[in-house]
Amino acid sequence: MHLLAAILIALVLTGTLPLIAGCYQFALAGLHGFRSRCTPAGEFYPNVAIVIPAWNEALVIERTVDQLARLEYPHDRLRIYVVDDASTDETPALLRAKAAQHPGLVFHLRREQGGEGKAHTINHGLRVIQAEGWYEAVLVIDADVIFTTDSLRRMTRNFADPEIGAVMGYIKEGSRPANWMKRFVGYEYVTAQAGARRAQNVLGAQACLAGGAQLLRRESLEAIGGAINTETLAEDTVTTITVQLAGMRVVFEPHAIVWAEEPGDVLGLWKQRVRWGRGNVQVTLRFRHVWLRRESGPLGGIGFGLIWFSVFLMPVFMLTSSASLLALYFVDRTLAQEVFKALWAITLVTYLFVTLSAFALDRDSARRVWREGLLFPGAISLLIIAYAVYPPLFDRYAADGLRDLGIDPHAGLSQAIQLFTYVWLSASMLAAWLIKQLDKSGHLRFLVAPLLYLVGFGPLLCAVQTAAYVKELQGKEMRWEKTEKTGTVGDLA
């Protein structure tokens, strides 16, 4: 019996692994100013070819190109190639006009047969720049991203160190006004980019150069065979890992800010993230010989493995944790209550550390998205935290409140509430999936936002990852479903 209880307690506590990994990342991020392996010089200006894949981007492409033409970067060292993937809207006409407006700077490359996907479109551009041979570095960006005027020079200065093979900028959600979903993504990017990638700079290994703004040194492009991978849904992660396995370092430049437009509803986010999640499954399997092996260098380190697998396996940890807590309840109720309290106390400490550190890390974003930061785990989870760490709050006041409402807080109700709190880690994922279904149905859509604040954005991401596992296991067809961009990025550059 004791052994069973001990095993169950250990399994319950696996639910804290992603939280501990989150704290670990932010603790490392705090050391970024002292132990970062990213040591940029003041100035360094290689010839940069910018490659932009574009398919029906008439709403955004003109502004993106105009902003690139305003970069604080020597224009004789800059060329912008927009690869028009057989667009059927105004994109070709707009690009012809831009090429005429900026001769020698903007080039319109037209693919008459398109539809093969983003990776093929990028490779078309890469073939052209390699044939010309002028470039010393290539910047691959999305058609909607808005580079701040100093961002490219802040990225290229890292190449003064010959060991650095690739650099990524800090992509921030830039829609103005930003609705609730975009604000959630805005906060998520502070943790997943500003925090996590600083930590990865300290560890000396990066998980992913975001496809929206990745700068590759010429030698890095050559090391990956001169083209990006077209077999996975995470071509940017494959590039990142392949470059590092070729012996070059990849770094995050936190001061190169790039604004992007992200999905504005649950359904749009779900489609985008299932694609990313499936890509992560593919990458994890493809590079299975790399993880947690000393000979793989920093990519095979325990620290990097903890970060990678805590995100990749988060739904598994959540399900295991709550199922084990429920099992423990039937073995020893008192013990289950103690373990429940410990689990959520750890959750509180890590939540406070990560959330407040994220606010400190990017105060500009914090001013806009602090509500979404505080409610990232969901209001229900915050209530459970309060219940677990300070029971009198509920034992006294909630029971009185129920009596005022004419409800008798008898043992049965109390037990039901207890069981609900025990399974919430898993049930929250189901609830998030139901919110997605509600959004998809088109009915009662006004409820989607308040329900998401209740259930939380974190559980939504876990549910998406679970859906990605399922689709990958089912071997569903890989389709590049483009995230619609409508040009909502504000005047931020």
Partner 1 sequence: MKRPPSLPAPPEAAPPTAAELDLRRERRSERQLLLWEIGIVLLIAAIVVARELLL
74 near partner 1, judged by CB under 8 A: no
Tell which one of 31, 100, 444, 492 touches partner 1 (CB under 8 A): 31
Nearer to partner 1, 44 or 480 (CB): 44
Contact of 177 with 281, CB cutoff 8 Å: no
What does the per-residue mask of binding to partner 1 show for 83-122, with x meaning CB under 8 A? ----------------------------------------
Q: Between residue 221 and residue 240, which ones bind partner 1 under the rule CB under 8 A?
A: none
Q: How far is the CB of 113 from partner 1 (least distance, A)?
A: 44
Q: What H or E segment, with its residue span, contains residue 141?
A: strand 137-141
Tell which one of 1, 2, 3, 33 touches partner 1 (CB under 8 A): 33
Contact of 421 with 387, CB cutoff 8 Å: yes
Q: What H or E segment, with its residue span, contains residue 433?
A: helix 411-441
Nearer to partner 1, 234 or 257 (CB): 257
Residue 143 per-residue DSSP state: T
Instruction: Give the pair of three-digit tokens for residue 17.
Output: 């692994």
Region near partner 1 per CB under 8 A, out of 29-37, 82-90, 117-125, 223-231: 29-37
370 near partner 1, judged by CB under 8 A: no
Nearer to partner 1, 26 or 317 (CB): 26
Q: How far is the CB of 153 from partner 1 (least distance, A)?
A: 7
Q: How far is the CB of 32 from partner 1 (least distance, A)?
A: 5
Region near partner 1 per CB under 8 A, out of 141-149, 207-215, 348-356, 485-493: 348-356
Residue 33: Cβ within 10 Å count: 9
What does the per-residue mask of binding to partner 1 show for 138-157, with x meaning CB under 8 A? ------------x--x---x
Nearest C-alpha neighbor of 54 from the set 90, 104, 100, 103: 90
Amino acid in position 141: I
Contact of 207 with 240, CB cutoff 8 Å: yes
364 near partner 1, judged by CB under 8 A: no
Backbone φ and ψ for 436, nearest 5 degrees, come out as -60, -40
Contact of 145 with 259, CB cutoff 8 Å: yes
Tell which one of 22, 32, 266, 344 touches partner 1 (CB under 8 A): 32
Q: How far is the CB of 75 from partner 1 (least distance, A)?
A: 17
Tell which one of 93, 246, 356, 413 touches partner 1 (CB under 8 A): 356
Strands (DSSP E) along 128-274, which ranges? 137-141, 146-147, 164-173, 213-217, 249-260
Residues in contact with partner 1, total (CB under 8 A)? 28
Amino acid in position 423: V
Nearest C-alpha neighbor of 58 from the set 429, 449, 484: 484
Tell which one of 26, 159, 287, 308 touches partner 1 (CB under 8 A): 26
Burial zone of 351 (CB within 10 Å; 0-12 exposed, 13-18 middle, 19+ buried): buried
367 near partner 1, judged by CB under 8 A: no
Q: Between residue 373 and residue 412, which ones bind partner 1 under the rule CB under 8 A?
A: 389-390, 392
Q: How far is the CB of 219 from partner 1 (least distance, A)?
A: 24
What does the per-residue mask of binding to partner 1 show for 161-180, with x meaning CB under 8 A? --------------------
Instruction: Give the pair of three-digit tokens for residue 288.
Output: 């299975």
Contact of 206 with 303, CB cutoff 8 Å: no
Strand 78-85 to strand 106-111: parallel, antiparallel, or no bridges (unpaired)?
parallel
Phi-psi region of 256 (alpha: psi -120 to 50; beta: other; left: phi over 0): beta
What's the CA angle centered on 145, arms 144 and 148, to 5 degrees?
145
Nearest C-alpha neighbor of 454 from the set 380, 371, 376: 380
244 near partner 1, judged by CB under 8 A: no
Tell which one of 203, 209, 248, 361 touches partner 1 (CB under 8 A): 361
Site residues, partner 1 (CB under 8 A): 26-27, 29-34, 36, 40-43, 150, 153, 157, 254-255, 349, 352-353, 356-357, 360-361, 389-390, 392
